[in-house]
Amino acid sequence: MQETNDEAQKTSMGSLPETVGIWIELDVSTLQRCHGEGVIRWLRFFIKGIDELPAVKEVVIPCSYKAAPVMRQLFAESGCCGDDQYLVSKKLQVKAFSFNGSSVESLREWLGQKIVYLENRLDSVRESVGSKKILKQVFRKIFEKPRTLRLLMERFALSVICIKDLALRKLFLKLLRRVPIPRFDNLALKASESFPETSWVIINPVWKNGATLEGRRIVAIPDLVYREFPLKGFIEKDLQTHTNTVCEVATAAEKIICFSSHVAHQQIAGLLPDHVSEKIRIVPHAPIHTGSFSDSQNDSRIQLGNELRQFFSSEHLHRHFCDFPFERMRYVMVSSQVRPHKNYKRILEVYDAILRRHRRNIKLVVTGHLDSDHELAFFLQEKGLVFDVIQSWNVGEDLHSRLVRHAELIVIPTLFEGGIPFGFAESVGMGTPCAFSRIPAFTESLTEQELAGPEVFNPQDSGSIERTILHVLDHREEVLKRQKLVVERLSQRTWTNVAEECLGY
Amino acid sequence: MKVALILPVEYSGGTFRLFLNLIRYFASHSELELVVGIPDDYINSVKVNLDKVHKEFSNIEVRGFNWRILAAKEVEDILPLHGVVVHRFISKAYQVPVDGHENFLDCNFWFIVSDRLACPLVPLRPYGIFVTDHLQRYVPEIFGRKLFQDVDGSAWNFLRAVRNADLAVVTSQGTAADVEMYSGCLNMILQIPTTIDIGQFLSVASQCEQRGQDITARPHCVWVTNTSQHKNHLRMLEAIRKYFEEHNGTLDIVVTGWGTDLFNPQLVLEKDSSRQNVWGHGYVREVRESVKSILGQWAARIHWAGEVSNSEYIAIVQNSQFLVHNVLADNGTFSVIEAAALGRPAMSSDYPQMRQLNEQFGLGLHFFDAFDIDETAKVMSELEGKPIHFNSALQERIEKFSWHSWDETVITVINSIGSAPRKEIACL
């Protein structure tokens, strides 16, 4: 394989495609949960970077009619609604295609909506009755002799609502199973026909229909993390299937992008035949800078408090957080999903020590859904941390940015990342220092001097993480000052550079 | 203004002494009418103490009461009748005090002494809570996983009581910080001075000359503790081992406090003993079994005195070289002040409440990290042979920080809350 070669890059950058296609092979419900995902954030900034490349005339994202509004929302300019004129780039258009015929899709959508409606009605009956157990008891009583007319009528109404709704829901589910599901192979075909001579960027190597796109295929392999860290819930067969798909898609590519040498040399090494490996190019990230807030610190904190209370009004932790005075909260923040290599268990143990041993009156805000992981949920309950660890997962971009802005520090405890974590530049740009792990994603981008500071820790060593967090808490301004210089240096690389290196022939 | 001062559960010890001092404080303000609420089943047990306070202040009315549990729907119907607006009801059950007559509704303000309300309080009157500590934030073992898991359980409800209190009163900055950030009190948080109530102790101490004690003839230090999990026993045992093995410690250790004799592996407890439950408790058993496994031959140097009388305790401390206070968290422990009154140095685990006591009373405590066994052992060895020293200013400070040191602030705030329109409650 070949490393980034400055001379070769410069030569190739002279020619860029006129049309760039972004291939996203995700169903609608997954897309709806994608906002804030690393892949989507990369694409957003990549597409914005294309704005400064006059040779590229248009960027298209093909999708189904149903997915189109969601796609527009994902690629909308911050704070905008997602109409075509308010996407992250004026060159971008979201192009909707019918997979199976619009009437079939309409039928599918109608059935889906009806099912959701019926389920909501049944849920509200369950809630008002009090519990499933009570609901069962009520159903039993339906066939008993009623004592009063009122009771009889109540039971009758309940049985009509519940039985009818249950029966209808069952029928609609049966029908839905018979309606053909959208097929991405059809979409790939239609997209290829509509946009010939397009350079397709396929950001995930398991989106196998990307390999069938006509035109030039640029496949990104952000990581093959499972080759270094075990993944929960996956058997060997699943991983092998995953690997096979990666190889298949990579083989079909004209160019393969990795965000770091570590991924190329450690995770991909040996997987692809030599003639395929030679197509790999390392294209590191540029820093991400989210917009600043125009309101004052105080107003922003009030807004943060309101938004968090709103967020928790429906979460199961709402009995404690629905009216919590978040405005006065001091906290350390970890912005990361729950994955084994994200090191959450260790950071929770460290936080436990910081709170209890070092008696720092500070909370831990995480963006991962810790309760979805049995081990982490158990730890939180056993250690009684449920009131001090705040799980603000799947929050919108605005709330996320406010959380970063008002944190005492951001901690990046991950054991691995495919490229330099976006959170580093993002937090420093917001005026929040960052404590981070010494991993290849950082060591490839930062100098030894920049890595020598006490804000860098060994992610395998709880003591190291603990000491680092305490140090940064006590020396915020000093650390922030130093990190601003680092981000300034990193910002010499722009997303236009990234786009150019990805797209260049 | 008529204030109900309510003891929510059957407290004894420090919290009950605090309750009595609060009675004195409120009763000393003649412009207030005071009603004292005590759980029905507990009134007879504390009659002697109440009679004593009654002699000091005859203007207090004492009522027995019980807690009545109400379902959410009942509370939703009742509160508007009392002019209380609640935007969201988020609890399944609530509790309200009933005394069989006025149910404290003849009072303008309810002041609950501790946050231990198993269900959220029905705020028929504006109320304050005296928060002694949020110990569970630092020692979660005292509650256990299931309590933290149950969103409708007491661990959650204790905090809800504080959240909606019109006034939270604390005696330390550490607890104030917890009330602000852990339970998240939405209204006023007031810190008043820690008061000390060791008059009885000092009286006994002054009556007797230095006396001998029967526990051990050997030079010793005294470790004052009890069977609660936050008392850090296992780390202390490790520290004691290091004290002997690595620092050539020469002193025996006398352990006093309620239930501490149950840690003695050689104790044979009678089968019908009322303390069988405590003896068999998982944690007590764990500590007892660890004594031999951790200390080995050094176990013989530990003397498990258990709970002793005031005069015996004074003799033990007078004959000791220093006192050890090792807990993970609490609202401050007066044993170190008692030691200082007897001229003995003391070492204490380092947490904000003890730092505050140290400063308030000029104790000169030797602090150590409760989690650092090496440091604990080192401080023990450093205190060996330290001379007896009586702090001349201590007596004055002890006298200064009685309940008399509480100024008008609490009364003023209660008056202000009681006379203002009721605040709307976001979530109850």
Q: Which of A316, A319, A381 sits opposite B148 (nearest CB)?
A: A381
- Residue with the bigger pLDDT between B270 and B98: it is B98
In which residue are the tokens 């202390």 written?
Answer: B236
Q: Which residue of A has its CA nearest to B92?
A: A130
B91: which chain A residues are within 8 Å (Cβ-Cβ)? 319
Residue numbers in B near A383 (CB within 8 A): 140
What pLDDT shows up at residue A108?
77
- Domains in chain B (CATH in brackets) are 2-195+403-427 (3.40.50.2000), 199-400 (3.40.50.2000)
Q: How far is CA B386 from CA B246, B263, B382, in A?
A: 19, 29, 8
Residue-level pLDDT at A37: 84
Nearest to A383 among B140, B174, B427 (CB): B140
- CATH superfamily, domain A297-492, is Glycogen Phosphorylase B; (3.40.50.2000)
Closest CA to A428 of A487, A345, A493: A487
Identify the pLDDT of residue B211: 63
Look at residue B171 in the predicted model and tell me its pLDDT: 93
Q: How far is CA A80 from CA A30, A38, B190, B422, in A?
A: 21, 20, 45, 41
CA of B142: which chain A residue's CA is closest? A384
More confident residue, B14 or B88: B88
* pLDDT (0 to 100) of residue A12: 46
Higher pLDDT, B216 or B112: B112
Look at residues A403, A353, A357, A388 and name the one whose alpha carbon lies nearest to residue B183: A388
What are the mean pLDDT values of chain A's consecutive 10-residue runs (505 residues total)?
A: 45 76 92 85 95 95 91 83 74 86 73 84 67 61 63 71 80 82 85 94 93 94 90 81 92 95 92 91 92 74 93 80 95 94 97 97 96 94 96 87 95 96 94 97 96 96 98 97 96 96 94
- Chain A contact for B11 (CB, 8 A cutoff): no
Bridge partners for A93 per DSSP: A60
User: How much is the pLDDT for B216?
Assistant: 79
Please tell me if residue A386 touches chain B, with a CB cutoff of 8 Å.
yes
Interface test with B, best of A313, A315, A317, A320 (most B CBs within 10 A): A320
Q: What is the pLDDT of residue A152?
A: 72
Flag whether pLDDT at B397 surpasses 60: yes
Q: What is the pLDDT of residue A11?
A: 43
Among the partner-chain residues A328, A357, A381, the one whose CB lies closest to the CB of B371 is A357
* Alpha carbon distances (Å) from B186 to A388, A447, B79, B218: 17, 47, 19, 54
Lowest pLDDT segment from A330-344, B108-122, B207-221, B244-258: B207-221
Alpha carbon of A377 to those of A21, A374, A469, B147: distances in Å? 41, 5, 23, 14
Q: Which of B90, B148, B174 sits opposite A319 (nearest CB)?
A: B90
Task: Using CB atoms, pick whichever of A316, A328, A355 lies closest to residue B151.
Answer: A316
The predicted structure's pLDDT at residue B215: 75
Q: Give the one of B91, B152, B184 whose C-beta lies nearest to A324's C-beta.
A: B184
- Nearest-CA distance B173 → chain A (Å): 11
- Sign of the torsion formed by the C-alpha atoms of B259, B261, B263 and B266: negative
**Mean pLDDT of all residues belonging to chain B:** 92
> Is the model's pLDDT at B412 over the cut of 80?
yes
| Positive/negative CA dihedral, B195, B197, B201, B204 | positive
Q: How many CB atoms lie within 10 A of CB A417?
A: 29
- DSSP per residue, B34-95: EEEEEEGGGTGGGHHHHHHHHHH-TTEEEEEEEEEEEEHHHHHHHGGGGT--EEE---SEEE
Which pLDDT score, from 0 to 100, does residue A319 have? 86
Q: Would you tell me which residues 245-304 of chain A have a C-beta closer than 8 angstroms to some C-beta of chain B?
A: none
Strand-pair category, A280-282 with A255-258: parallel
- Chain B residue with CA closest to A379: the answer is B145
Domain ranges for chain A, please list them. 6-74+196-282, 103-178, 297-492
Mean pLDDT score, B348-375: 95
pLDDT computed for residue A170 by the predictor? 84
DSSP string for residues in B335-380: HHHHHHHTT--EEEE--HHHHHHHHHHT---EEE-TT-HHHHHHHH
Question: Sheet harboring A456-457: ordered strands across?
Answer: A389-391, A363-366, A331-334, A409-412, A434-437, A456-457
Q: What is the pLDDT of residues B320-336, one digit of tens each?
A: 999 999 999 998 899 99
What pTM was computed for the model? 0.87
**Can you tell me the mean pLDDT for B71-75?**
94
| B213: confidence class by pLDDT, cuts 50, 70, 90 | low
The predicted pLDDT at position B199 comes to 73
Q: What is the pLDDT of residue A10?
A: 47
**Probe site for chain A from B181, B351, B354, B367 (most A CB atoms < 10 A):** B181
- Cα–Cα dist B302/B409, whole Å: 47
- What pLDDT shows up at residue B108? 95
B148 touches chain A (CB under 8 A): yes
Q: Is A329 on the interface with B (CB under 8 A)?
A: yes
User: What's the confidence (pLDDT) of residue A451?
Assistant: 95
CA distance B176 to B195: 16
Q: Which residues of chain A lie closer than 8 angstroms to B149, CB-CB?
A: 381, 386
* pLDDT the model gives residue A147: 62
Tokens of B366: 């030797």
Q: Name the residue type at position A436.
A: F
- At A132 the pLDDT is 56
pLDDT at B111: 97
pLDDT of A128 reads 60
Q: What residue has token string 């990805």?
A: A502
